[in-house]
Amino acid sequence: MASTAATGLSDGDFIRFAEYFYKRTGIHFAAGKRYFVDKRIDTCIRNSPYDTFAAWFAALRTSDQGPMLQELINQLTVNETYFLREDYQFDAMLSTVLPNVLAARGGVGRIVGPVKILSLPCSTGEEPYSIALRLLEEWDQIDHVDVEIHGADIDSEVLAKAAHASYGERSVQRVPKAWMNKYFAAVGAGRYQVDEGIRSAVTLHKVNICDTAAMRSFRDFDIVFCRNVLIYFDELSSRRAAENLYGAMRPGGYLFLGHSESMSRISPIFTPTRLPEGLVYQRPTGAK
Amino acid sequence: MGLVRKQAPQEPEEALPEGPSAEILLSRLDDPDPDRRRESALGLVGAPEAVPAMLARVGVEEDPRVLESMLTTLAAYDTEDVAGGLAVHLASDEAGLRTAVAAALATMPRSFPAVLPSLLAAPDHDVRVMTAMILADLQHPEAHTWLVRMICQDPHPNVVTGAIDALLPSATTDDVQLLLDARERFPDDPFLRFTVNAALPRLTGTP
Ligand SMILES: C[S@@+](CC[C@H](N)C(=O)[O-])C[C@H]1O[C@@H](n2cnc3c(N)ncnc32)[C@H](O)[C@@H]1O
């Protein structure tokens, strides 16, 4: 049961491992997180043909980027999320941000191309589907404007779950009953699946937000939600994530962070804007 | 109208076209379009051959966003060469450059200690104030000790005040005497006095 004994990770091993993982993901584990890390490495080793940390770690580094790394990422990411989390930000999106985006892009009827919204990281999909629900139910322009919603995450397992989109009670407990009836189907065992119409409207991608080359395929987003991931990054990874998001956004585009996260300490490239519902960051319009 | 799926079928992410080579990116650091320069600077992560060229541009790049991107890429090296190359700009006349460089140095815990002695000995006291700001954010087990040393030893009240400010978030009762001594050393400096007086109640637990 004693996880450290099982992996036999020495302090030196842990540091080397933490460094490797940081380079691959931007996620930073201080020594205080050992209880969390050791247990999960243990699981990875047990699922592998290797029986010592040294052998497993050597194989991981040789196969780099392969399925071993992906399994490790899937184990070591914190995927907790639920529908309509921090939904005051969705209020802000509906009341202020979307009208501003439309106005900046020429107004309804004259806007060219869809309004693009990105949820990164999207984890198991609750966030992009929440955005879809709020737009369909509460945005009076939804029938006059095209909206594209994208979700992205580094963890392939959560993305598979997001694509399947079936959720337990806990995850959907904040969804109004009427919306449940309209957009979810009970699929047994207390689980509810988002209807096909919404599922197929959300495009999912696997991406590491710190990977500048991979992030190049994300362009021209009007609104980005990047919530509850920067807290796992150190300052340098956060800066790189911020830069990559900047590149993914239209000038004037809006960025929402989690409530305990702040951009100003990380990177001055965005302009903070205070809305009645809270703080949002904007990619400046002037400088291209 | 309404929710629409992305039109073009999604290409598998793996099949992304290769980005431009480091050589091309390097030449684009001089592109008149700041967006291009910004993207090149970010794209140069993991191309150590680009470090000298980027360091040379830190002092001349005029667009603050391009500068940020270069610093993000450079700071990832966390080597003494990069730290040294950045630290010279702490003496710059441009506040924007100074602060941007300080923020980058604060993310370089491995190499910053190597440039610290020369920064602590810098004749320009503003450089030493910036150094205290960096130590406030640097994730290094010795950062507290270095700040204590600055508070005890630096001859300039602004530097000592800066170091006190930097120390306060991690200060404990153990640091009270240090602050009292500093206040006594500069009795005529109102700002230092104010900083110490404002901090004491929390540290001593008296209202
Ligand atoms: C706590 S969830 C946040 C989900 C959602 N945004 C929310 O606020 O509820 C954090 C997610 O970040 C993802 N993640 C961690 N590092 C990442 C990286 N470097 N790039 C992309 N996603 C990452 C994890 O896989 C996990 O699904």
Mean pLDDT, residues B13-38 taken together: 84
Separation of CA B140 from chain center: 14
Residue A96 lies in a domain: yes
CB of A23 within 8 Å of a chain B CB? The answer is: no
- Which atom of ligand 1 lies nearest, measured to the CA of A226? 6
Q: Are residues A105 and A147 in the same domain?
A: yes
Nearest CB to A114; choose among B4, B65, B107: B4
Q: A288: closest CA among A224, A223, A220, A225?
A: A220
In angstroms, rounded to a whole number, what is the distance separating the alpha carbons of residues A256 and A270? 11
B155 close to B149: Cβ distance less than 8 angstroms: no
Residue A276 lies in a domain: yes
Which residues, in sequence order, are bridge partners of residue A249? A221
CA of B180, closest CA in chain A: separation in Å? 30
User: Which chain A residues are within 8 Å of B141, Cβ to Cβ?
Assistant: none
* Tokens matching residue A35: 């209880």
CB of A191 within 8 Å of a chain B CB? The answer is: no
- A198 to A43, A150, A170, A218, B74: CA distances (angstroms): 35, 12, 20, 21, 42
- Give the pLDDT confidence score for residue B17 in this predicted structure: 62
Whether residue B117 is preceded by a cis peptide bond, meaning omega within 30 degrees of 0, is no
In angstroms, rounded to a whole number, what is the distance separating the alpha carbons of residues A163 and A153? 12
Per-residue pLDDT band at B47 (split at 50, 70, 90): very high
The pLDDT tens digits of the residues spanning B142-175 come to 999 999 999 999 999 999 999 999 999 889 999 9
Q: Are residues A36 and A171 in the same domain?
A: no
What are the structural domain ranges in chain B?
A: 111-207
Last residue of a domain, one of A76, A102, A124: A76
Domain that holds residue A106: 88-282
In angstroms, rounded to a whole number, what is the distance separating the alpha carbons of residues B124 and A265? 26
The pLDDT tens digits of the residues spanning B54-86 come to 999 999 999 999 999 999 999 999 999 999 999
Residue A6 lies in a domain: no
* Tokens matching residue A31: 């020594």
Last residue of a domain, one of A76, A101, A123: A76
In angstroms, rounded to a whole number, what is the distance separating the alpha carbons of residues B176 and A256? 41
Residue A1 lies in a domain: no
The verdict on the CB of residue A215 being under 6 Å from ligand 1 is no
Q: Are residues A95 and A214 in the same domain?
A: yes
CB of B161 within 8 Å of a chain A CB? The answer is: no
In angstroms, rounded to a whole number, what is the distance separating the alpha carbons of residues A162 and A202? 10
Ligand 1 centroid–CA A209 distance in Å is 9
Torsion angles phi and psi, residue A148, rounded to 5: -105, 130
Return the higher-pLDDT residue of B119 and B171.
Answer: B119
Q: Are residues A264 and A181 in the same domain?
A: yes
Q: Are residues A201 and A117 in the same domain?
A: yes
Ligand 1 centroid–CA A152 distance in Å is 9
B182 close to B192: Cβ distance less than 8 angstroms: yes
Q: Are residues A141 and A28 in the same domain?
A: no
Residue A202 lies in a domain: yes
Residue A185 lies in a domain: yes
Residue B3 and residue A132: Cβ atoms within 8 Å?
yes
- Give the pLDDT confidence score for residue B162 in this predicted structure: 96
Q: What is the CATH number of the domain that holds A226?
A: 3.40.50.150
Q: A48: closest CA among A85, A87, A77, A7?
A: A7
Name the domain count of chain A.
Answer: 2
Kindly report the pTM of this predicted structure: 0.86
Ligand 1 centroid–CA B195 distance in Å is 40
Q: What is the side-by-side order of every strand in the sheet holding A184-186? A: A166-168, A191-194, A184-186
**What pLDDT tens digit does each residue of chain A (288 aa) get?**
333 445 678 888 998 999 899 988 989 898 888 888 998 999 899 888 998 999 999 999 988 778 889 999 999 998 999 999 999 999 999 999 999 999 999 999 899 999 999 999 999 999 999 999 999 999 999 999 999 999 999 999 999 999 999 999 999 999 999 999 999 999 988 999 999 999 999 999 999 999 999 999 999 999 999 999 998 898 889 999 999 999 999 999 999 999 888 877 677 899 999 999 889 999 998 744
- Give the pLDDT confidence score for residue B40 in this predicted structure: 95
